[in-house]
Amino acid sequence: MPIPVPIPSGAYVMDDATSAAAEAFVATIAQIFRSGTTGATINTPPTLFPDGTNPAIDPGTGQPYLVPLVIDTAEEQLFYRQLAIAVATAAGSIVVPPTPTPQLVLFDATCPSGVVVGDLVRISSAGHVALTDITSVTLMPAVGVVKAKASSTECTVQTHGYVQGIFSGLTAGLSYYVSRASKVGPLPIPTAGETLYWQAVGVALDATTLILIPSMSTSRITG
């Protein structure tokens, strides 16, 4: 079983004897991991341990155990890091999770010609969206942001996920709401006697990225 140890300039050279010792060590560990065997004697070559113990005997239990290794050089770090990866891989215990990617939820709809990319829209009828209006509960809630337009009356709406390349000047960590202009904005404040319907739509990740999580409920606020 080849041990995947890179040999950068100045690193410890893995000769045949050392490689064979490492492979034997990995194979034994892998066998124990797979079978669930406990208390096994691991007959590893003493050269794998700085003090030559192979292995040490715990005076309390009389069972063998591996003495702590002092890894204080770059060469040793390289060797044992790669060895540990090889052990876990051989035993099938390493599961590398996939790199998370933002999940976008999109749908296409018919929209008024005045709707532009970046507008927050509501469902106006089956297959149609229109601008929101925070002064009227019947024109709320927003279901997403217009991500793109294929024509003057055809748009793609994003309902959840990272929205990038549309907004600017956001404040990381700040919650954003539907604004008076049917855009993303800070919490709108009603004037005296005015009624607004607040709806949170997301949180800024950075100056140009919004984590879109629209609430499907509104709060009635009167100034």
Query: pTM of the prediction?
Result: 0.56
134 and 177 both lie in a single domain = yes
Residue listed under structure tokens 């041990």: 3
Domain for residue 77, yes or no? yes
52 and 152 both lie in a single domain = no
Domain for residue 9, yes or no? no
112 and 216 both lie in a single domain = yes
Q: Are 129 and 206 in contact (CB under 8 A)?
A: no
171 and 123 both lie in a single domain = yes
Write down the pLDDT at residue 221.
Answer: 92
Q: Are 3 and 24 in contact (CB under 8 A)?
A: no
Write down the pLDDT at residue 39.
Answer: 44
Q: For the chain, what is the total number of helices (H) and then of strands (E)?
A: 2, 13
* Cis peptide upstream of residue 214 (ω within 30 degrees of 0): no
Write down the pLDDT at residue 57.
Answer: 59
Domain closes at, from 62, 90, 118: 90
Domain for residue 95, yes or no? no
122 and 174 both lie in a single domain = yes
84 and 109 both lie in a single domain = no
Domain for residue 10, yes or no? no
Domain for residue 148, yes or no? yes
Nearest Cα residue to 143 out of 77, 60, 217, 82: 217
Domain closes at, from 32, 67, 90: 90
Write down the pLDDT at residue 223.
Answer: 87
Q: Are 102 and 163 in contact (CB under 8 A)?
A: no
Question: What is the rounded CA–CA span in Å between residue 197 and residue 84?
Answer: 58
pLDDT in tens, 98-141: 555 556 789 999 999 999 999 999 999 999 999 999 999 999 99
Domain for residue 2, yes or no? no
Q: What residues in the chain have per-residue pLDDT under 50? A: 1-5, 7, 9-13, 36-54, 69, 93-96
Write down the pLDDT at residue 104.
Answer: 74
185 and 135 both lie in a single domain = yes
Question: What is the rounded CA–CA span in Å between residue 120 and residue 1?
Answer: 58
Domain for residue 174, yes or no? yes
Q: Amino acid identity, residue 29?
A: I
216 and 116 both lie in a single domain = yes
Q: Which residues span the domain enclosing 178? A: 105-222
Write down the pLDDT at residue 91.
Answer: 54
Nearest Cα residue to 219 out of 187, 191, 193: 187
Q: Are 145 and 115 in contact (CB under 8 A)?
A: no
194 and 136 both lie in a single domain = yes
* Cis peptide upstream of residue 141 (ω within 30 degrees of 0): yes
Q: Which residues contact 6 (CB under 8 A, 6 or more apart)?
A: 78, 82
189 and 115 both lie in a single domain = yes
Question: What is the rounded CA–CA span in Å between residue 56 and residue 64?
Answer: 6
Structure tokens at 94: 């390493």
79 and 112 both lie in a single domain = no
Number of domains in the chain: 2
Q: Are 139 and 132 in contact (CB under 8 A)?
A: yes
123 and 203 both lie in a single domain = yes
* Cis peptide upstream of residue 112 (ω within 30 degrees of 0): no
